[in-house]
Structure 1
Amino acid sequence: MAVGYGLVVRFTLRSEEAAEAFDELVSRTLEGIRRDEPGTVVYVNHRVPDEPAVRVFYELYADRAAFEAHERQPHVRHFLEERRKFVARTDVTFLEHIDGKV
């Protein structure tokens, strides 16, 4: 299976308290991703050691179309709106698959 569209997103959150609320929002969003998005291969929220107000997402999609379908989901639109309450800065890096083990 060729998996060729991914991204890494680094969120710098407003505070440690904001990080906790952000994690809860992500968990609720993941319910919809698990249920409704077969083209979302990996969607993981990571904590960064020694940076309690930073989260890093790794997202991997079957292809660009699966990513675009992800962006249109109601649970994702809700996440994008609500995250503004918690996030001070967002840095996104898009990735293209070269080689690997899937």
Structure 2
Amino acid sequence: MSSGFGLVVRFELHDATAAAGFDQLVSQTAEGIKAHEPGTLIYVVHTVPDEPNVRVFYELYADRDAFDAHEQQPHTKHFLAEREQYINALQVTFLDAQAGKGPVAA
């Protein structure tokens, strides 16, 4: 598994109200991703047990170009502009696939 481009993003949200607004924004964004991004292979948002105001995204793209195309989509630009009102902290970790099983060709 030497191709693919991924990232993990951890969002710490202000409170339960912010989490609800953030979740709504994510839901809207995910619809755009499903409809317009064939190079986005996985885009999954997770909640964290015992941390109700944390969301963790796992994103996997066919390659860096697919990620760059994702970043240019109107729904993604809207998400990036609107998310700031909900978050206290943000941590992004970029990933390069090395081994395993997944939708990315070896």
- State the one-letter code of the partner of 1:40: T
Determine if contact 2:2/2:99 at 8 Å carries over to the other structure: no
SS in 2 for 1:29: helix
Q: Counterparts of 1:3 and 1:34 in 2: how far apart (Å)?
A: 21
> Identity of counterpart residues, as a percentage?
61
Q: CA deviation at 1:3?
A: 4.3
Q: 1:44-83 alignment to 2 at 5 Å?
A: 44-83=44-83
Q: Determine helix, strand or coil for the equivalent of 2:10.
A: strand
Deviation string 1:23-80 (CA, Å, 9 cap, x unpaired) is 1100000110000000000001100000011000000000000000000000000000
TM-score when scaled to structure 1? 0.96
Tell me how large the CA RMSD over aligned residues is: 1.1
TM-score for both structures, normalised by structure 2: 0.93
Please list every run of at least 4 consecutive aligned residues from structure 1 whose deviation after the TM superposition is greater than 4 angstroms: none
Q: Contact conserved, 1:2 with 1:62, CA < 8 A, in 2?
A: no
**Structure 1 portions without partners, runs of 5+:** none
Instruction: Say how many residue pairs are matched.
Output: 102
The answer to whether the 8 Å contact 1:7/1:93 transfers is yes
Distance in 1 (CA, whole Å) between partners of 2:14 and 2:66 is 31
SS at match of 1:101: coil
Kept in 2, the 8 Å contact 1:3–1:61? The answer is: no
For 2:11 and 2:3, how far apart are their aligned partners in 1?
A: 24
Residue matched to 2:89:
89
Name 2:18's counterpart in structure 1. 18
Q: Which runs of 5+ in 2 are unaligned?
A: none
